[in-house]
A and B are shown apart, each in its own frame.
Chain A
């Protein structure tokens, strides 16, 4: 019989094992092979780890490993409805924002949209070279008929990165003020950052309908919010303690200190966080195309699914160009902040 029979025998649990009748667990591959008469020779070298499956062999009442994942799934499905009742209205504005942005970016004619984008870049970077580069990139994307896809991607990034910064900066500030909150948040942020992006999508698919934009919106925000939270926290904690002391010595209130000293001095770090947040939302928006996020990611997905090599590669290069544009613009803004307050 099974290797770990003795465990249950010596604990006097044999009755409990057999009591529930024959194994309720679904048949496993090993069972099937056993029935086929292919009982392998067992030597001491083959002793299995006392895993759930091995213990189930010895005692039918012991749950198999698949019960664990199934239990998790069942548990999630049980709370899903009540969770949806709470989350649905809370996240509805995200859907509206995404739909609105998508509509705005696509309905605005190209000869208005491209100059506006160039103007924004010119204002934040004050660089003629960069502005020219932006015009060139969007001109190129439009020329190869990828303009609409690029605008969809840009619309999603604009909304998601904005919301990530909107929530991320206050969370980072709160973290910088409380060591306890920092201790709680750091593992959460680590998890959000290392969890494979696909894994975000799985529970979200259960919670929301795949046709709703907020599904990918939430995934993008969760993935992209991490750097801005981290760097805001870090930036505020790294403000020269002597300057903080001076602020205290002149009797600043906490609010005056936060808005007059800490945030302005942490701004280079916060801006670096915003840059990273934008780059990560771009990365995630491509993956989110699997759950109906429109944009260049859809073309990449089509390239993979239909083995359309050219479409996939050109869309990929389009994403690279978009990334370069976003990165250079935010870095130029960052450089201007840095120049204003170097010591």
Chain B
């Protein structure tokens, strides 16, 4: 089942998500990217109802882009996280979105940051955070091995520890994960951790 987690390192933040699209007992797809590159220096890892996730993350992305066009300056990660919380909180008592969000970003001056926003719109700035069934394992792994001054290599090593733990201890473990990183050079996909590939469909 869904696993999204992230952490802040020395001069970067990273977000990891599983890439399974599951409905009931069926896996429809195992290369679904659940981490959106929100703008040049922000990542948005989301879990929850897949329709809500797609709609809501895109809505946030477009509004953050609109702000940048109107004002000529991008939103900081803190501002974008607070905007996201505001939208979720307004929706909460009308027509709630069931999406949990980890927002990672890099700002000049403040450096890397990670924000935890759950579907009821509790916002909190964290060093490490996780959602879903995978959180039981990834949070424990990160509590044990995390340091504030980790390099990218050390952090990815920790991420791999988390993924191994999820794969080996979680009954409903997803096979594939995607790792994305944001630092001073921008937000980008870092790597995939795939244990199965989608089989290609033979053409007629």
A and B interact: no
Which A residues lie at the B interface, using CB under 8 A? none
